[in-house]
């Protein structure tokens, strides 16, 4: 009897698969900008400052980050659309509010609110890149989009 190989691309979503997508979204968002002062935003901004030591390594980071953002934003937009993105944002916002109300989150400072917002953005992006898998698992239907671009 021949071995039946599992097609990972179409086998559906697992919790581990979602967590990997969330980690990737967190890395993308937090490497791009975070309030600690250690991010591509700060590093490139300094290189563009009075010392003007902008070099190819800065451009390479910009290109890699732009590619990452393109993948996550296009996948999220295609999977969720405007309404789905708003709904995902509302759900994440409601969860943040709930966590704040029950004492799991504190947001007394601008950096705290910034960190919370960046994590929330990462969650929405992770949901966006995972949505087609989740949709297929929930409904049994595939999302197929033909692009004539």
Q: Summarize pLDDT for 46-74 with one digit per residue, the tens.
A: 999 887 789 999 999 999 999 999 999 99
Residue 54 placed within a domain: yes
What pLDDT score does 34 carry?
96
Residue 27 placed within a domain: no
Residues whose CB is less than 8 angstroms from the CB of residue 28 and which lie 6 or more positions away in sequence, other chains included: 65, 68, 69, 72, 122, 125
Residue 89 placed within a domain: yes
Residue 87 placed within a domain: yes
Number of domains in the chain: 1
Distance CA 73, CA 92 (A): 17
Residue 51 placed within a domain: yes
Residue 11 placed within a domain: no
Residue 10 placed within a domain: no
pTM score of the predicted model = 0.80
Please tell me which residue, 139 or 50, carries the higher pLDDT value.
Answer: 50
What pLDDT score does 143 carry?
58
Domain of residue 86, residue span = 35-139
Tokens of 117: 């917002």
């Amino acid at each position: 009897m021949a071995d039946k190989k599992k097609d990972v691309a179409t086998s559906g979503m697992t919790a581990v698969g979602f967590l990997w997508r969330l980690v990737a979204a967190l890395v993308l968002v937090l490497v791009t900008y975070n309030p600690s002062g250690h991010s591509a935003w700060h590093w490139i901004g300094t290189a563009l400052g009075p010392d003007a030591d902008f070099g190819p390594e800065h451009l390479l980071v910009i290109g890699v980050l732009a590619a990452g953002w393109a993948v996550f934003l296009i996948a999220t937009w295609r999977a969720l659309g405007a309404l789905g993105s708003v709904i995902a944002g509302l759900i994440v916002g409601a969860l943040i509010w709930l966590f704040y109300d029950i004492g799991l989150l504190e947001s007394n400072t601008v950096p705290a609110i910034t960190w919370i917002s960046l994590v929330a953005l990462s969650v929405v992006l992770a949901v966006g890149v995972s949505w087609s898998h989740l949709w297929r698992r929930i409904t049994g239907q595939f999302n197929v989009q033909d692009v004539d671009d």
